[in-house]
A and B are shown apart, each in its own frame.
Chain A
Amino acid sequence: MLANALLSLVERIINHVLQLDSSLKDNLAAISDKQLLIEIRDWQQRILCVYSDEQIHLYSTAEHHFDCMISADIDTLLTLKNPAMLTQLIRQDKLDLQGDLHIAQGFSNAFAALNIDWPEHFSRYIGDAPAQQLWLSLQAMKRHGVNVKNKLENTLTTLCQDELAVTIHPLELAEFKQQNRQLKNQVSQLEMRINALLKSC
């Protein structure tokens, strides 16, 4: 039941996205009422996905009725944004596909072509010019964020790859030992001299 609770949240978000990009409905119309069953092997979950009555319906189910079924690990499923990967993954035995391939491709293509006109949606609340300005600012922030992320990744990579002098070099240790021995000898000599002077007094 927990899976269905989470899926109801995801379903709400996706259906909200459907309202934001009208072209998505057109792209999904061809696979309307077709049942796509997605089996996530490593999570042991089966999710039924149907586009019907201009809404996406998602259910965690144990049913075996479907028009198309995709079975794969979650990592493999996440690479499916590119529909061209499908056949390659099937050949590599990373993905099992049963039924009508066009249904899986239909869903994948529709969401890959998702293009929400955010300034248009913002403009309903704050007007055209501020909406455009807000959108440009958000884009600039996104670019800046990507730059910062790249720099951090580069720095981290450099730190991991470069050899750091965490301990002293063996040669330094040998030199230190030698100096230590010399000092010890000098101290012994000094001690002998002092003792000799004390005896003579």
Chain B
Amino acid sequence: MNENQQKTTHFGYKTVAENDKASMVADVFHSVAAKYDVMNDLMSFGIHRLWKRQTIASSGVRKGHYVLDLAGGTGDLTSKFSQLVGETGQVILGDINSSMLKVGREKLRNLGRVGNIEYVQMNAEALPFPDNSFDLITIAFGLRNVTDKDKALRSMYRILKPGGRLLVLEFSKPEHEALSKAYDFYSFNILPKMGQLVANDSESYQYLAESIRMHPDQETLKSMMEDAGFEHTSYQNLTGGIVALHRGFKY
């Protein structure tokens, strides 16, 4: 395959070679890792905590479960899962980005969450675990950054135990036109300026806004999950559809 014929994908609104996307996304997250939590609170006015809380409420996680928190970043979900699975369970905090993993590990250790958490750098498209390993897989605000989403969903399906579930928390399409316009204005005008002021990095937050618009809408993602093999798939819109929580089971 020559250079002109190589496969392409999107990186925000740009079209880039598939092989380049992972490293470009990695650069974004290396850049924002240190201020990730502060920026999350600022950008979402703290509402991201409620979105994550809703994810935990929908997880059905209990003592002894094996949980994979994919694209776990700074470990907000891992922290709660670690408490809920107890000593007999285990949580794997997985992220493709070493900087995010470092920040997450430091934060969780400072919170005293040790003993049942492992930190693994991994690519969601080729998860390094045997088949039927996990009771629950979550991926919160990570799927849109994955180059081949179908491949990643198939990989997640493979390592999920029968009876296990996948939860995908991700930005989606607002349900109402007025909200959509206000959200667009906020994303493209205010968000990058906020990024510039707080993290001294407007480009990463411009990418964030663009990548959200390029991410599949609720119904499309649901179909993608079904194509990957998941059953009983459903989604719940949060904050008017700005974010959606998708759920699918493996039987």
Residues of A whose CB lies within 8 Å of any CB of B are 1, 4-5, 8, 33, 35, 48, 50, 52-53, 55, 57, 59-63, 65
Would A62 and B58 be within 8 Å (CB), given that A1-B238, A57-B84 are in contact? Answer: yes
| B60 & A8 in contact (Cβ 8 Å cutoff) | no
B239 with A1: CB separation less than 8 A: yes
Are the CB atoms of A52 and B57 closer together than 8 Å?
A: no
Measured CA separation A62–B84 after assembly (Å) = 17
- The answer to whether A53 and B56 have CB atoms under 8 Å apart is no
Interfacial residues of chain B within 18-73, with CB under 8 A of chain A in the complex:
49-51, 53-54, 56-58, 60, 62-63
Q: Which residues of B contact A1 (CB under 8 A)?
A: 50-51, 54, 238-239
- A4, B84: Cα distance in complex, Å: 17
Contact with A along B168-209 (1 / 0, CB 8 A): 000000000000000000000000000000000000000000
Residues of B109-160 at the interface with A, using a CB-CB cut-off of 8 Å, are none
> How far does the alpha carbon of A52 sit from the alpha carbon of B80 in the complex, in Å?
10
Which residues from chain B contact A48 at a C-beta distance below 8 Å?
57
Q: Which residue of B lies closest to A33 (CB)?
A: B63
CB distance from A40 to the nearest CB of B (A): 16
Known interface pairs A1-B238, A1-B239, A52-B84. Does A59 touch B53 (Cβ–Cβ under 8 Å)?
A: yes
What total of A-B pairs shows CB separation below 8 Å?
45
Q: A residues within 8 A CB of B53?
A: 4-5, 8, 59
The verdict on B229 contacting chain A, using a C-beta distance below 8 Å, is no
Q: Is the interface of B mostly helix, strand, loop or mixed?
A: helix
Which residues from chain A contact B50 at a C-beta distance below 8 Å?
Answer: 1, 4-5, 8
Q: Which chain A residues border B216 with CB–CB below 8 Å?
A: none
Q: In the bound complex, do residue B62 and residue A55 qualify as a contact, i.e. CB atoms below 8 Å apart? A: no
In the complex the two chains form, is A65's CB within 8 Å of B83's CB? no
| Known A52-B86, A53-B82; further 16 A-B contacts with Cβ < 8 A | A1-B51, A1-B54, A4-B57, A5-B50, A5-B53, A8-B49, A33-B63, A33-B86, A50-B62, A52-B83, A52-B84, A53-B86, A55-B83, A63-B57, A63-B60, A65-B62
Chain B minimum-CB-distance residue to A5: B50
The docked-state distance in angstroms from the alpha carbon of A61 to that of B239 is 17
Complex formed: what's the CA distance from A60 to B55 in Å? Answer: 11
Q: Decide if B58 touches A61 in the complex (CB within 8 Å).
A: yes
Known: A33-B86, A53-B86, A57-B84. Is A63-B58 also a contact (CB below 8 A)? Answer: yes
Return chain A residues, CB-CB under 8 Å to B239.
1
Task: Give the complex CA separation of A52 and B87 in angstroms.
Answer: 10
Question: Considering only CB atoms, which chain A residue lies closest to B113 in the complex?
Answer: A53
In the complex, 28 of the A-B residue pairs with CB atoms within 8 angstroms, ordered by the A residue number, are A1-B50, A1-B51, A1-B54, A1-B238, A1-B239, A4-B57, A5-B53, A8-B49, A8-B50, A8-B53, A33-B63, A50-B84, A52-B63, A52-B83, A52-B86, A53-B82, A53-B83, A53-B84, A53-B86, A57-B83, A57-B84, A59-B57, A61-B58, A62-B58, A63-B57, A63-B60, A65-B60, A65-B62
A57 to B238, CA, bound (A): 21
A97 to chain B, nearest CB (A): 20
